[in-house]
Amino acid sequence: MPLGPSEIPGESLTAPVIFVGTASPAELVHIDVRGKVAVQHVTPQAHTVFERTSTVQHARDLFRRGAVAVVNVIDQPGNGRARDFANCGGPCFNLGGRDGVFLEGVMDRAAEAGSLGELRMTISLETERRFGLRGANSVAIIPGSRSDESIVLNAHVDGWFDAAGDNADGLAVLMAIARHFARPENQPQRTLVFVASAGHHSPGLNGPRNFVAMNPQVAQNSALVLNIEHVAQRGLSPARSVAGDGYREYVTDSGEAPIVAGITNRSSFLEGLIRQGIERYGTNFVSGGSSMASGEGGGYRSLGVPIVTFMQAPPLYHTSGEVVEMISTPGLERMARFLVFFIAEVDRAPRERIEGG
Ligand SMILES: [Zn+2]
C-alpha cells in the first residue's frame, strides 16, 4: 500500500534492501541505510493510530539518513492493506502481515547465506493528483417541543476502503436514533439536528466546521454535540498458534472492541450516564474517563458547548479489513439503545446539569 504523498521519479527504483528493526535511534546507530530501501517492523498494540507518531518519525529519520524508500511491515491479519503512516518524508509503503513474514524470511535466509548485500528490491509506483473533488454534508432536523435549544448529533460518512467500522456503523446508529425520535410519541423537548458529515478523511472538502459556518442559527442554539464515530467493530486478537513460517493468525471476538467515551467538560451528570449505559446495555466503554474530542467532534469546538464523542480504536481501523463481517450486530443494537437512553436523559436535563461539574 503506497502512502500519500509518495512519488518515485521515473515511476520505478531498484536498490539494496536493509532491515532496520523498529528503526529506533539506538538501532540505527549501527546501520548504514544510505541508498537503500529500509524495512522497519511495526507491531500495533491496538489500532495503528497509536503507532503513527513513532512509525512516521522513524521513517523520516531513515530518509534523513539517506534511505531511498521505506517499507513498513505491519503485524496485521493476512495481507490487509493499511492506510496509516502517511507523510513520512519520501516514498513509503505498508506491507501486510503475510507478505511481511515472507520479506523478512528472505532477508534472514540471504543473511545466513552471506548474500544479503546482493539482495535488491524494485519498487514501481504510478501516481496521479486529482483536483476539484467534492463532498457534501447532509442535515436533517427533528423539531423539539421547545424551539430555543438543540442537540447536534454527528456521524461522518466518508471513509477508507469498505469503511464498515469507520464509519458505516456510526452512520447506521445515527439513522436508528433518527427513526426512533421521529415517531410522534418520542418527540424530544430540544430540537435534534442530525449531521452526516463529509470530508473527515480528506480535510477541506466539507465537514462540521462548514456545517457550523453555514447554519449559524441552528448551530448556536445547541446545548450539546454528540459525535458517533466507530462504535460497533468487533475485537480482534492474535491467535495462539504460529504457522511454520512465523506468521501468526488472528481471531475475532464475538463482542465489540473497547469504546472510549470522551466528554470535553467531564460533567459528572454525563459521565454518570456512561456508567449507567454499561450496566443497562452492556456497551463496552473503557473504564477511564476522557475529555478527548478527536475526530469529527473537534469541528464543533467553536460552539463552546460540551462535546461528547463515542469512538473505538479497533485494530483494523483504516485497513482493507474493515468489512461488514467485522461489525458486531448486537453491538450496533447496544449502542443504538444506549444512545436513545443517553439523548432522552440529556434532553430532560436542564442546561446547568449538562454543563455543570
Ligand atoms: Zn472516523
List, for residues 319-352, the tens digit of each pLDDT value.
999 999 999 999 999 999 999 999 999 999 999 9
Instruction: Say how far apart CA 23 and CA 149 lie, in whole Å.
Output: 53
**104-161 residue pLDDT tens:** 999 999 999 999 999 999 999 999 988 888 889 999 999 999 879 999 999 999 999 9
How far does the centroid of ligand 1 lie from the alpha carbon of residue 107, in Å? 36
Q: How many CA within 13 A on the CB side of residue 197?
A: 34
Global pTM reads: 0.92
> How far is the centre of ligand 1, averaged over its atoms, from the C-alpha of 128 (Å)?
25
Ligand 1 centroid, distance to 291 Cα (angstroms): 17
Cβ atoms of residues 200 and 160 within 8 Å: no
What is the model's pLDDT at position 204? 72
pLDDT given for residue 276 in this prediction: 95
- Ligand 1 centroid to residue 156 C-alpha, Å: 7
Report the pLDDT value the prediction gives residue 147, as an integer from 0 to 100. Answer: 79
Provide the residue type at 112 as one letter.
E
Q: d(Cα 316, Cα 46) in Å, to the nearest integer?
A: 9
Kindly compute the dihedral angle of the four CA atoms of residues 258, 351, 195, 288, in this order, to the nearest 10 degrees: -10
One digit per residue, pLDDT tens: the chain, 357 residues? 999 899 999 999 999 999 999 999 999 999 999 999 999 999 987 777 888 999 999 999 999 999 999 999 999 888 999 999 999 999 999 999 999 999 999 999 999 999 999 999 999 999 998 888 888 999 999 999 987 999 999 999 999 999 999 999 999 999 999 999 999 999 999 999 999 999 888 777 789 999 999 999 888 899 999 999 999 999 988 887 777 777 888 888 888 999 999 999 999 999 999 999 999 999 999 988 999 997 789 899 999 999 999 999 888 889 999 999 999 999 999 999 999 999 999 999 999 999 985
Q: Quote the Cα angle for 13-28-249, to 5°.
A: 75
Q: How far is the CA of 166 from the centre of ligand 1 (A)?
A: 5
For residue 357, the model assigns a pLDDT of: 58
> If you measure from the C-alpha of residue 249 to the centroid of ligand 1, how many angstroms do you get, rounded to a whole number?
26
